Structure 1
Amino acid sequence: MSYDDNQISSPVVKRRRRTTTSSSSTSSTSQPLNTISTATIFSSPSGSTISRDTPLTRKKRSAAWRYFNQNENDSSQCICNLCKVEIKRYGNGTSALLEHLSLKHSNEYKVVRDGIDRSKPQARQHYLPIDSERSKYVTKLIMEYLLYELLPINMVESDAFKNLIYNIEPAYNMPSRTYFTYKVLLALYNETRTKVEDILRTANGISITTDCWTSIAHESYVTVTAQFLTQQFEMKIFILETIDFSGRHTADALAKKLQEIFEEWNITHKIVSVVTDNTASVRNAAKLLPYEDWGCFAHLLNLSVVKGINLIHDEIDFVRKIVIFTRRSTLGFEELKSEQDKLQRPHRSLIIDVITSMYYMLQRFIEEKQAILACLSKKEFSKKLQDVNTIASIRWSVIEELLSVLKPWEQATRTKQNVHDIKQLLILLSYTCEDHCSAYFL
């Protein structure tokens, strides 16, 4: 009967050793266990032994054997494959081999040690209960951080963010995004709303600002802000609502929506004025409400400027076209930067105008006049401007005069922004002073 090598394993060897005769046992014990010949253990049914040239060896399970080989003549001597040093080990252990790696080959020892640590049963990580005081505190801090920095809530699912929190508080178990959205955020909103409501109760008169706007996803919203002065003449500003406002933006629909918000916050009896932009539908909505209405001062300034500069729109269009080209085209950007280097000027991009920044666009355009002229003199640059082909197409003197005209308007707008809204400030001041005077004289 023949035997396959793959059927021979050390557990089988030990079991067969216990069933051999005393003579064979005596013979086998005279040799080390890891070099017992299969011929001394197994015999065929006819009684003849099975000859094996290769001794049966125990499987080397330690990761240290990746870097050592046993001496063929002496199993207690091992040769390091890295430095060829011969290491003597005692018994069947690998402690001496690991010690050699730790002293002479630290990187390899770390690999072996990591493998040993992973093979050991890991202790179960004990996390803080989600409703513990410490866990609630950390969860609230995370939620406030995401809100104040305008970060998406799904950031709590980021592995990098989880690793950061783990290193700060290893016992903290990060809740899911759903938990943050529907429990933590809602609780924080209710807490904040209660505080704001308590503060609004102390106001003598509240001025409201509101505006309708559309997001980049083409979703319409209406935002309502409340302002008032405290008894210490400190300005308080709170955003009460930013809610979806779909459908037609008619005056009646907007007025109804605003009145619902005022009633929800219980401030209808405290409102002294409503400030809106100067769009017809919004102004008409404000007039339908039983409060004094005002148009936005900054918006009025902007409308006045826009109406005036329409008389010289050709120059403005020319400037805007060059600005857009240098900001969106790699060629335009590189050419402008190259000319700024030649003039030893700092690299400054041209400014595109939005609602109130036309002054800043023209100001930067005049400041970079020499670099822009140099760019326009290059064929590759100027031909990209399509219908604008010559330097003479721009009247620099007109732009410089327009800049001087716009400067007072820019100063007025900036002053208004620094003191919030002058009209609101005066109205609230009068109400607060009236309350103080009444309390004094009565």
Structure 2
Amino acid sequence: MDLSFSSQELSSEPSNSSDETLELAAGASSTPRSTLSLNLTSNSSSRSGKKRSLAWVHYTTTTSDDKTAQCNLCGEKVKTSGNTTNLMIHLKKYHESEHAAIMQQQEKVTQNPSKKRCTELAKGQLTLSGSIERTAGYPKNSFKRALIDKALVKMITTDLQPASFVEDTGFNEFLRVIDPKYTPPSRRTIMRDHLSQLYSSKCDELRKELEGVQHCSITTDCWTSRATEGYIIVTCHYIRNNWELRSMVLNTTRLTTSHTSENLALALKEITDRWGITEKVHCCISDSANNIKRAIRLNQWSHLSCLAHTINLIVATSISHDQELVTLVGSVKKIVSFFHHSSKAMDSLHLNQKRLNLPEHKLIQQVDTRWNSTYYMLERYLEQYEAIKTTLCLLDRNDLMIPRERNTALQEVVKILTPFESVTREISSENYTSGSKIIPISRCLQRLVSTSVTSHSLAESLVTEMRARFLGMEENNLLTVSTLLDPRFKKLAFSDKDAAERGVRILLSEASIDVPAGNSRVNEPSVSIQSAEPQPNDLWKVFDEEVAQ
């Protein structure tokens, strides 16, 4: 019997239609060729409804549960339990030619790898090798693994996560859901290999970038860790070729020697030499400590005192001179400490905040090294006074209560300190240069406080401290030139016109090398120019009033 298959050679590849038609043409040399056509209907959304085996060409199901099939060749009924084993046995025993044709077609599919792969995908099944390949991890030299490792280390450094983060159970369960083939490196591998490689790569990039910088400024500070270990940190500030302001931390170095000017100067120079910027440092900004100021002068760099640190000294010293205010601030600090150390008190406070329709804000504790924490503590205390008073009464802690009439004094203190808080917040920004603001800010602060209607002793102390610490600021050439170059201020920010003219002469002498003499005139602004960034409300109103006069 000559047995041939039509319609895609009875391929097991899926058809584009929901009905699959397999035609079997059979005939013997002694009889006319006859064609047997059988439609196998399957639901493309249900795997159980598809009859993919070639054996079903010769069978038809006879029951609703598909457990019995009738042979189309001899009419005999054959039991089937969802597979074609019994069907193939019947064909082999009673219809050898048809069985041989089916086996030959299956062998063709097996010998064709691409068709075999298509068949596996169509059935949603994998071979043993494919299953092993799917569950096996990435090789060590895999590009995909290296890419994920790089992203993981970047996440750890960006979010300041500990290296042991990769060993956390929850994180590894998350990775198994995202990519079962990826296994993160161990904590030791990250510390030994990945972090060191990333650090070296970033250092090379920064060193190459600093090679193209002609001038830069650095800021430095000394601090002590919780383990009472001394450190010095240096940050470099420069402008890239695209006029983008950049601030990069160069080093955080352990100080094992005493903090003398000579030792600090040596530590600073070692850091700048390592990065090749010693001769490029235009100015160094630090706090007002004598040892660091002298260390900077030993390295022959210009020095500027940090304005935020100077304001911190002004406010902290002024508050300490008012013993009545110190006592009042101490009383508020005790109240805040009580709530921070009692969960019962804190729960009661939250309940009273809801009852009184007050913002559900936490109380803020004072930090001795940050004057503005005192400001925030007093401001939050006044905001939550009614809730605090109610809570203390309910808990029978009347000994902590501050009389209501004392709130007036606290409100006055907060009002006096508000311009200083605004200046501290503005001057601490890293998104724009602030050197040109120092002279106008210092001048406006003095006028704003000295002309206030209050007669509080704190205001008098603040004015005295500002006069002492802001003295000679307009004589600083760096501040003078930077203020003149700022189109918002120019000469308008100076109280001493001689200082402004001296700054103009310095600026013209430096610019004369590259700028023709005919183009060296400094134009006066005809109107007040507002700053692009947010400004303290009252402070810059004072400046605008002076400009208008």
Please confirm whether the aligned pair reaches a TM-score higher than 0.5, indicating the same fold. Answer: yes
CA RMSD, 1 decimal: 3.5
What's the secondary structure of 1:260's corresponding residue?
helix
The C-alpha deviation readout for 1:98-120, integer Å capped at 9, x for no partner, is: xxxxxxxxxxxxxxxxxxxxxxx
Q: Could you tell me whether the CA contact under 8 Å between 1:376 and 1:382 is conserved in 2?
A: yes
Bigger RCO (CA 8 Å, 6+ sep): 1
What's the secondary structure of 2:278's corresponding residue?
coil
2:349 to 326, 330, 336: 336
Residue identity opposite 1:369 in structure 2: Y
Give the aligned length.
325
Q: Could you tell me whether the CA contact under 8 Å between 2:345 and 2:395 is conserved in 1?
A: no
The C-alpha deviation readout for 1:356-386, integer Å capped at 9, x for no partner, is: 3222211111111222233344462234x4x
Q: Could you tell me whether the CA contact under 8 Å between 1:130 and 1:173 is conserved in 2?
A: no
2:170 to 160, 167, 176: 160
Q: Could you tell me whether the CA contact under 8 Å between 1:276 and 1:282 is conserved in 2?
A: yes
The C-alpha deviation readout for 1:201-240, integer Å capped at 9, x for no partner, is: 2222111001112233333322110001234432111111
Q: Could you tell me whether the CA contact under 8 Å between 2:245 and 2:432 is conserved in 1?
A: no
Question: Any gaps of 5 or more consecutive residues in structure 1?
Answer: 1-94, 97-121
Q: What are the residue-to-residue correspondences of 1:77-156 with 2, within 5 Å?
A: 123=132, 126-156=136-166
Please state how far the C-alpha of 1:441 moved relative to its aligned partner: 5.4
Q: Could you tell me whether the CA contact under 8 Å between 2:224 and 2:231 is conserved in 1?
A: yes
1:185 to 2:201 alignment? no
Deviation >6 Å, runs of 4+: 431-437
The C-alpha deviation readout for 1:286-310, integer Å capped at 9, x for no partner, is: 2322101111110100110001111
The C-alpha deviation readout for 1:245-271, integer Å capped at 9, x for no partner, is: 234222222211111000000001110
Residue identity opposite 1:366 in structure 2: L
Matched residues in 2 for 1:194 and 1:440: separation?
36
Matched residues in 2 for 1:328 and 1:308: separation?
30
1:251 to 2:264 alignment? no
Matched residues in 2 for 1:228 and 1:254: separation?
23
Q: Could you tell me whether the CA contact under 8 Å between 1:276 and 1:294 is conserved in 2?
A: yes
TM-score by length of 1: 0.65
Which deviates further from its counterpart, 159-168 or 310-319?
A: 159-168
2:297 to 281, 284, 287: 287
Question: Which residue in the other structure is 1:320 paired with?
Answer: 333
1:212 to 2:222 alignment? yes
What's the secondary structure of 1:243's corresponding residue?
strand
Matched residues in 1 for 2:223 and 2:432: separation?
20
1:176 to 2:186 alignment? yes
Matched residues in 2 for 1:146 and 1:202: separation?
30
Question: Which residue in the other structure is 1:405 paired with?
Answer: 416
1:353 to 2:366 alignment? yes
Which deviates further from its counterpart, 314-323 or 374-383?
A: 374-383
What's the secondary structure of 2:160's corresponding residue?
coil
What's the secondary structure of 1:380's corresponding residue?
coil
Q: Identity over the aligned pairs, expressed in percent? A: 28
Question: Which residue in the other structure is 2:382 paired with?
Answer: 366
What's the secondary structure of 1:392's corresponding residue?
coil
Please state how far the C-alpha of 1:421 moved relative to its aligned partner: 5.4
Matched residues in 2 for 1:334 and 1:162: separation?
36
What's the secondary structure of 1:401's corresponding residue?
helix
Residue identity opposite 2:391 in structure 1: C
* Alpha-carbon distance change, 367 to 224 in structure 1, aligned in 2, over 3 angstroms: same
* Alpha-carbon distance change, 135 to 271 in structure 1, aligned in 2, over 3 angstroms: same
* Alpha-carbon distance change, 154 to 221 in structure 1, aligned in 2, over 3 angstroms: same
Matched residues in 2 for 1:438 and 1:233: separation?
22
Matched residues in 2 for 1:349 and 1:415: separation?
24
What's the secondary structure of 2:279's corresponding residue?
coil
TM-score by length of 2: 0.53
Question: Which residue in the other structure is 1:238 paired with?
Answer: 248
Matched residues in 2 for 1:276 and 1:130: separation?
48
* Alpha-carbon distance change, 380 to 183 in structure 1, aligned in 2, over 3 angstroms: same
Residue identity opposite 1:320 in structure 2: K
Question: Which residue in the other structure is 1:195 paired with?
Answer: 205
Residue identity opposite 1:397 in structure 2: T
What's the secondary structure of 1:213's corresponding residue?
strand
Q: Could you tell me whether the CA contact under 8 Å between 1:331 and 1:381 is conserved in 2?
A: no
Which deviates further from its counterpart, 426-435 or 298-307?
A: 426-435
* Alpha-carbon distance change, 129 to 436 in structure 1, aligned in 2, over 3 angstroms: farther
Matched residues in 2 for 1:436 and 1:179: separation?
54
Question: Which residue in the other structure is 2:63 paired with?
Answer: none
Q: Could you tell me whether the CA contact under 8 Å between 2:331 and 2:402 is conserved in 1?
A: no
Matched residues in 2 for 1:437 and 1:149: separation?
48
Question: Any gaps of 5 or more consecutive residues in structure 2?
Answer: 1-79, 82-130, 439-477, 487-506, 518-549
1:302 to 2:312 alignment? yes
What's the secondary structure of 1:173's corresponding residue?
coil
What's the secondary structure of 2:304's corresponding residue?
strand
Question: Which residue in the other structure is 2:391 paired with?
Answer: 375
Matched residues in 2 for 1:176 and 1:376: separation?
52
Matched residues in 2 for 1:246 and 1:399: separation?
44
Q: What are the residue-to-residue correspondences of 1:3-14 with 2, within 5 Å?
A: none
Please state how far the C-alpha of 1:437 moved relative to its aligned partner: 8.2
